[in-house]
Structure 1
Amino acid sequence: MNVAIIGCGYVGCGVARYWQQKMTFVVTATTTTPERVPTLQAVAQRVEIVKGNDPDLLHTVLKNQDVVLLSVGAKSADVYEETYLHTAQTLVSVLKQIPSVQQLIYTGSYAVYGDRNGAWVDEESLVAPANQNGQILSDTEQILLSASNEFLNVCILRLGGIYGPDRELVKIFGRFAGTTRPGNGKDTTNWIHLDDIIAAIEFARRRRLQGIYNLVNDDHFTTKELLERVCETHNLSKVIWDSSQESKRPYNVNVSNKKIKDAGYKLIHPQMMF
């Protein structure tokens, strides 16, 4: 099977390694960063430097592919539109000319739900992005879903916060140890381990999933609980909370993972790994 990964960063690289080694697929990986080519050559048979808004190069990459994984990540907040929206628009226009592609999988974000004051949401809940970048992510989903037809399945995985090897929780949050944080830390968090992202992408490919699926684990710690566990586990100084300052975190929501579990996916790491 020929598989192409558009945007081969932390997640894409992990999937490329899995597909090449475990499934013996022919993997094509793309990057916008020339310096990453040697790294990607270790996990993919073919590596191309491609910008998502270049239809000619994208067409060359996707020709004769069976499955496409779109796993781009914006390097900064001011390039969200170019990274997500423009890539999705270009990809959808190119896919119309490539009938070999039967499955498109996109790693999106639960950020599209916005701030629900801790309420539960599932895939049927209306999106309510809390900022412009969240709106761009929502628009990107709609553009990609519009490509779906009887020959092409489109699966959107709305990921929680990503952690895993080389991106452990202590690496993410250890710098907050002994500091004072704004708010009370009672906002809800949603996380997913890299192992589960890789496995769920393969599950979506194998089952040819169509539509939107949340991908988060079973734990829904508050930020305060999460930081306390990190600090306790690694013998770090406690975080102090100052409720007189307003928290700037825009994603206080409980994300349900029931749909993907009902589809048959079993989490590798249902609980957080500290």
Structure 2
Amino acid sequence: MGFLGALPARFRRERVLIVGCGDVGGRVVRELGHGRRVQVLALTSSPARVAALRAQGVRPLVGDLDRPATLARLAGLATRVLHLAPPPSQGLPDWRQDPRTRALVRALARRTAPATFVYGSTSGVYGDRQGAWVDEASPLSPQTPRAWRRADAESQVHWYGRRQGVRTTVLRIPGIYAPDRPGGTPRERLLRGTPALRPEDDVYTSHIHADDL
């Protein structure tokens, strides 16, 4: 029996916190909405998004990863955390570090930890492998500031998990596509006459449909 099963029925509802509730986060909300024992919470830095999140059945929490003092209410609030927020792209004292993930895990560490923490990273942390295959065990080789910050965020997530006894999962997400996302699907781009590589110039690339995330 899990820790929720040991509680009275009224307390057994899972509480999933989504940090970075954009397109992919919204798809997760729709998937979780099919169940009856899940309450979805979403952190947003924009008060203007509160009404839209509520309309999706989400409990909005206004807070800013760039202002750690606004994150205090997150501690002990969720049983599961999905972290999809990207690192900042400018104004960093150290371009290799992600202060947003650091602020999040520090806020969560102040009270009872969630059971699981999932972080959406990028396959860019592998660097340019010159066409070679990679898997979860392949060494990281970040070659851009963005990839370095993602690799740093992964390390912080794993450190948080070890320190707090939280099961952590890192998803190294490749290019995302979907009919309702900018750019559409590869088939739609071909139908529009978008230029394509010649077979002899083509290479393997890694993509995933947004709904498969």
Distance 1:177 1:157, change over 3 A: same
Superposition pairs for residues 64-213 of structure 1, below 5 Å?
A: 64-73=77-86, 77-78=89-90, 85-149=98-162, 151-167=165-181, 168-169=184-185, 173=189, 177=193, 179=195, 185-197=201-213
Equivalent position of 1:33 in the other structure: 46
Give SS of 2:208's match.
strand
Q: Deviations over 1:129-173 (max 9, x none)?
A: 121111111111111111113631111011121122412315984
- The residue type equivalent to 1:28 in the other structure is L
Q: Is the 8 A contact 1:26 1:45 kept in 2?
A: yes
Between the aligned partners of 1:59 and 1:174, the Cα distance in structure 2 is: 48
Q: Deviations over 1:166-219 (max 9, x none)?
A: 1231598469835588xx74232111112221xxxxxxxxxxxxxxxxxxxxxx
Distance 1:177 1:38, change over 3 A: farther
Tell me, which stretches of 5 or more residues in structure 2 are unaligned? 1-13
1:15: Cα distance to partner? Answer: 0.9
Between the aligned partners of 2:196 and 2:22, the Cα distance in structure 1 is: 32
Give SS of 1:72's match.
coil
Q: Deviations over 1:75-97 (max 9, x none)?
A: x8547989x81111111212221
Q: Normalization by structure 2: what TM-score?
A: 0.77
Q: Report how many aligned residue pairs link the two structures.
A: 194
Q: What's the C-alpha RMSD, in Å, of the aligned pairs?
A: 3.0
Q: Is the 8 A contact 2:76 2:108 kept in 1?
A: no
Distance 1:172 1:28, change over 3 A: farther
- The residue type equivalent to 2:138 in the other structure is S
Q: Normalization by structure 1: what TM-score?
A: 0.62
Tell me, which stretches of 5 or more residues in structure 1 are unaligned? 198-274
Identity across matched positions, percent: 28
